[in-house]
Amino acid sequence: MRRASVRPTIDGKLTEADWKRADAVTFQFPWTEQTGAKQKTTARLLWDDEFLYISYECEDADITAHYTKRDDPTYKDDAVEAFINPRPSQTDAYFGFEMNVRAVMFDYIYFQAKYLVKRMNLEGFQLATHSNGTMNASGDKDQGWNLEVAIPFSEFEPLNSTTPKAGDNWTINLNRWDGVEPDRRLSLWSDSAMVQPNPHNIRRFGTMVFVR
Ligand SMILES: [Ca+2]
Ligand SMILES: [Ca+2]
C-alpha cells in the first residue's frame, strides 16, 4: 500500500492521481450457492502520516440502500466493509467498518468472534459516496457507485497506539454485500473460508504492507 502524495479529497470521486497509481484488488465470490449477478468491486488503499484511505469502485445495475443512522445494520444494504487488525500478533479483536451507499457508518470492535462493541464510534473520519444511477428505483439500469473513506490512525489506539511506518504490516479484509434478497451476494478480497457466506474470520485476513 503506497503513501498518498497529496491528501485525497473525500468526495466519493476517485479522480486523484494517487488513486490511479494505487494497486487495485478485485473481490472474489467463494459461495457458489449465492444467486444473482457477480458485480465487480475494485478496492484501493493509501496512507499518509495521519490517515488510512480506502476506496471502492462498485459496478452495480441496481443501487439500493435504506439505512440512514449511525450503527444501523448497513450490511443489509448495498454496502462495503473494511475489517482491520492493526496488531497482527493477536487474533482476538479487530475493527469493523460497514458503510452503505448512503455513506452511513456502522463501526465497532469485534472481540473473539462473539462480542460486537458497536458503541465504539470513530471520531475524525471522513466518508463519502458518489453514485452513477438512481437509488431504490429498480425499473432502470444503474452503472455503479464509489465509496471513499479516511480513517485517522489515532482511532486504532485500543489495539495499536503507534502510528504506522513504512515496512509495518497489518492484516485486513475488504468485503461487499450486494443485491436484494433472495438474490444477495457477499464478495471479498481474501476468502474467509467459512462454510456459509460470512466474512468474519480474522485468521483469513490478508496482509497490508505500508510502503513508502
Ligand atoms: Ca476524491
Ligand atoms: Ca459504532
Q: Where are the domains of the chain?
A: 2-209
Looking at residue 8, its pLDDT comes to 98
How many Å apart are CA 86 and CA 160, to the nearest integer?
6
In angstroms, what is the span from residue 64 Cα to ligand 2's centroid? 22
Q: Please, what sign has the CA dihedral across residues 146, 59, 94, 164?
A: negative
SS3 25: strand
pLDDT at 203: 97
Asked whether 9 and 140 are in contact (CB, 8 A), the reply is no
pLDDT at 99: 98
CA of 155 to the centre of ligand 2 (A): 12
Nearest ligand, CA 69: 2
According to the model, what pLDDT value does residue 132 have? Answer: 97
Q: What pLDDT score was predicted for residue 113?
A: 92
pLDDT digits (tens, 9 = 90+) for 154-186: 999 999 999 999 999 999 999 999 999 889 999
Please give the pLDDT value at position 106.
98
Ligand lying closest to the C-alpha of residue 9? 1
Output DSSP code: residue 156.
G
Looking up cell 480474522 gives: 202
The confidence score (pLDDT) of residue 207 equals 97
Spatial neighbors of 198 by CB under 8 A, at least 6 apart, are 186, 192
User: pLDDT tens, 65-94?
Assistant: 999 999 999 999 999 999 999 999 999 999
Q: For 99-144, how does the pLDDT look when each residue is reduced to its tens digit (9 = 90+)?
A: 999 999 999 999 999 999 999 999 999 999 999 999 999 899 999 9
Distance 130 CA to ligand 1 centre (A): 10
- CA-based nearest residue to 36, from 145, 179, 139, 199: 179
pLDDT value of position 152: 98
Rounded to the nearest whole angstrom, what is the distance from the C-alpha of residue 212 to the centroid of ligand 2?
31
The pLDDT of residue 112:
95
Q: SS3 of 61, please?
A: coil
Position 125 scores a pLDDT of: 98
Looking only at the bridges linking them, the beta strands covering 79-85 and 93-100 are antiparallel
* Segment 22-55, tens digit of pLDDT: 999 999 999 999 998 999 999 999 999 999 999 9
CA dist 183 → 29, 132, 179 (Å): 13, 21, 6
User: Closest-lying ligand to the alpha carbon of 15?
Assistant: 1
Residue 52's pLDDT is: 98
Kindly report the length of the chain: 212
From the options 2.120.10.30, 3.40.50.620, 2.60.120.1440, 2.60.40.1190, give the CATH code of 2-209. Answer: 2.60.40.1190
Instruction: Find the ligand nearest to 109 CA.
Output: 2
| Residue 54 CA, ligand 1 centroid: distance in Å | 11
Rounded to the nearest angstrom, the distance between the alpha carbon of 18 and the centre of ligand 1 is: 10
pTM, two decimals, is 0.97
